[in-house]
Amino acid sequence: MTDCIFCKIAAGEIPAQKVYEDEQVVAFKDLSPKAPVHVLIVPKKHVQSVAHFQAEDKELAAHIFVDVVPKLAADLGVAEGGFRIVLNTGDDGGQTVHHLHVHLLGGRKMTWPPG
Ligand code: 5GP
Ligand code: ZN
């Protein structure tokens, strides 16, 4: 999508510190990390948020959560100690970039409830 920053990162038009890439997704370090490990997993296809997933996206959603999240958590060294997955969705959910992204945060003890 034009003027979408994560579409541009996915297309390589804007630089990012990529930690993983395959045909369907790219993962890169968050510009403003909130934990020692903070990466964003982003589908290359522009999907606005999880609220905008369509039936055709089932394979993509499964790929993200079944294949990519566990692999990245292991590669980044947080699988054993634990980590947090966050999907801010819409304005009340705190979503600021309107291209679906999964935050993977770890490397410190997380608190609850979220702000
Ligand atoms: P949201 O608030 O939408 O859930 O999260 C957006 C995240 O994207 C924020 O944590 C923010 O730091 C990150 N972010 C925004 N712009 C960029 C960018 O250009 N590059 C990278 N690497 N991260 C970004
Ligand atoms: Zn986009």
Domain ranges in the chain are: 5-106
* 49, 100 Cβ separation under 8 angstroms: yes
Q: What is the 3-state secondary structure (H, E, C) of the chain?
A: CCCCHHHHHHCCCCCCCEEEECCCEEEEECCCCCCCEEEEEEECCCCCCHHHCCHHHHHHHHHHHHHHHHHHHHHCCCCCCCEEEECCCCCCCCCCCCCCCEEEEECCCCCCCCC
Amino acid 2: pLDDT:
83
Atom of ligand 1 nearest to the CA of 97: 3
Q: What is the pLDDT of residue 56?
A: 98
**Distance from the CA of 61 to the center of ligand 1, in angstroms?**
20
CB 96 near ligand 1, within 6 Å: yes
Ligand nearest to the CA of 99: 2
Question: Torsion-angle region of residue 60: left (phi > 0), alpha (psi -120 to 50) or beta?
Answer: alpha
* Topology of the domain comprising 5-106: HIT family, subunit A (3.30.428)
pTM score, whole prediction = 0.98
pLDDT at position 63, please? Answer: 98
pLDDT means over runs of 10, the chain (115 residues): 94 97 98 98 98 98 98 98 98 98 98 94
Which pLDDT score, from 0 to 100, does residue 84 have? 98
pLDDT at 114: 93
